[in-house]
Structure 1
């Protein structure tokens, strides 16, 4: 049975441009990490690029999505990185895979705790004292209205995310100093969200009578309505965090 292709237009599973990815790889590899841990790695594109730039490093990616992990393993094989990276299908809760010199947690803090302070505490535990954390975390550019929240994800609430200043403050309270603070641009968001749905939209246009079409159309329409609502309201911060030494 023909089914919609999944995420073939996406390079990264988030609003991340090639230019920003290159800058992140340069900054994060400057510290010469020997071990990299990717929480909620998906197919681990950023981790693989970091490993390619640091030939002595090894990486571990953790996720629960079988298809994404398979894509990551295939990409590692294509790039000759199989001996230096593991893609593990398991929960990140209380993970024993650390501490690492570089911890990536991009759009996946919920895998470490229901509340952001708990997740940040886990990230501090998982990074070496002289390492770095790249945290990709949502924040509100402004507080959404009730009408906007009703059109976002199910049960969306104003306290689902902090504002940017509060987010950075929480990271400091958890034992980090922010080496670098940057946020995804509107162009990055639009490229990501369009690419996220593009395969599905083309498939729906070509298979209107398919047995899966009605369910797929409803899911796509719901996702599109949500992102066009949070467009310009929900942001994503990329925080490069340095563990602070104990007093």
Structure 2
């Protein structure tokens, strides 16, 4: 069995999260206005936002950290296509306790778990403290973090990911308050729209759904179908319109 026999992975996504072109453009413009010389992307995937920041800030350099080799290879290919290969490094390593800071700008979009002890419950406070450690005075952090749009019901929690419970996320107000307590000022607060979520969730599975329709008897079809059906169900029957993603542009408080 060769790689071409396998179902495709995430080929219909530009960003690995519910993020539109328009919102990404505004984020990049705000970051570029601060003229960062060094950028660190935590859990970068293929680093689309990182590459766009580097394109917008001539001379800036960046490092993307992730543990998925396939995504990192895609990032390196994109960097070569855009003439950025000499200004960005995609590194396959854990971000836990990383020494690759401080830098002028830190991106952490939906990847806070990369900064937390995997043996402990997820802790957004620990994420924010690590981000504060990794950013230089006067720098910027863009954090994409899950939050509850409203309190989930027991039925909704049961339909989400295994072991989902109400303590998995904060609501938006407490999340922003926690960022302030962690030594930041929230320079910009926004959250993914319903349309951005739909584009992401559909795009996440689009190529694989097409593959399943065309290869129903493939040796990998049964396990792939079970996985994809479970992912889709957890969204449409569980966290749709309940789980949000906040995009916080944070500025460290001097001396904190």
Q: TM-score, normalised by structure 2?
A: 0.95
Tell me which of 222, 225, 228 is aligned to 1:214: 222
Task: Find the aligned partners of 2:107 and 2:180 in 1 and give their Cα distance.
Answer: 17
Q: 1:137 corresponds to which residue?
A: 145
Distance 2:96 2:172 in 1: 25
Aligned to 2:102: 99
Deviation track 1:181-206 (CA, whole Å, cap 9, x = no partner) reads 00000000000000000011000000
Name the CA distance, whole Å, in 2 between partners of 1:78 and 1:167.
38
Per-residue CA deviations over 1:191-229 (Å, capped at 9, x if unaligned) read 000000001100000000011000000000000001112
Unpaired runs of at least 5, structure 2: 117-121
- Partner Cα separation in structure 1 for residue 23 and residue 126 of structure 2: 28
User: How far apart, in 2, do the equivalents of 1:168 and 1:80 lie?
Assistant: 37
- Report the 3-state secondary structure (helix = DSSP H, G, I; strand = E; otherwise coil) of the residue aligned with 2:86: helix
How many Å separate the matches in 1 of 2:10 and 2:96? Answer: 26
Is the aligned partner of 1:244 residue 2:239?
no
Q: Distance in 2 between matches of 1:246 and 1:127?
A: 12
Name which of 129, 133, 142 aligns with 1:125: 133
- d(CA) in 2 for partners of 1:246, 1:76: 36
Once residues 50 and 77 of structure 1 are traced to their aligned partners in structure 2, the CA distance between those partners, rounded to angstroms, is: 15
Whole-Å Cα distance in 2 between the matches of residues 231 and 140 of structure 1?
11
- Structure 2 residue 42 is matched with structure 1 residue 39: yes
Q: How far, CA to CA, are the matches of 2:125 and 2:200 in structure 1?
A: 27
1:178 equivalenced with 2:186 (yes/no)? yes
- 1:59-97 Cα offsets, whole Å, 9 max, x none, are 000000000000000000110001100000000011010
State the Cα deviation string for residues 83-131 of structure 1 (Å, max 9, x = none): 1000000000110101010000000111112311111100000000110
> What residue number does 2:177 align with?
169
Give structure 1 regions of 4+ aligned residues with deviation exceeding 3 angstroms: none
Paired residue for 2:166?
A: 158
Report the number of matched residues: 247
Residue 74 of structure 2: aligned partner: 71
1:21 equivalenced with 2:21 (yes/no): no
Work out the CA distance in 1 between the residues paired with 2:63 and 2:40: 5
Look up the match of 1:8. 11
- Partners of 1:27 and 1:119 lie apart in 2 by 22
Quote the residue 1:226 is aligned against: 234
With structure 1 as the length reference, what TM-score do the two structures score? 0.99
Please report the RMSD computed on the Cα atoms of aligned residues, expressed in angstroms. Answer: 0.7
Aligned to 2:204: 196
Aligned equivalents of 1:51, 1:246: Cα separation in 2? 28
Counterpart in the other structure of 1:235? 244
CA distance in 1, matches of 2:254, 2:176: 18
Name the CA distance, whole Å, in 1 between partners of 2:125 and 2:231: 28
1:245 offset after TM fit, Å? 1.5
Deviation at residue 246 of structure 1 after TM alignment: 2.4
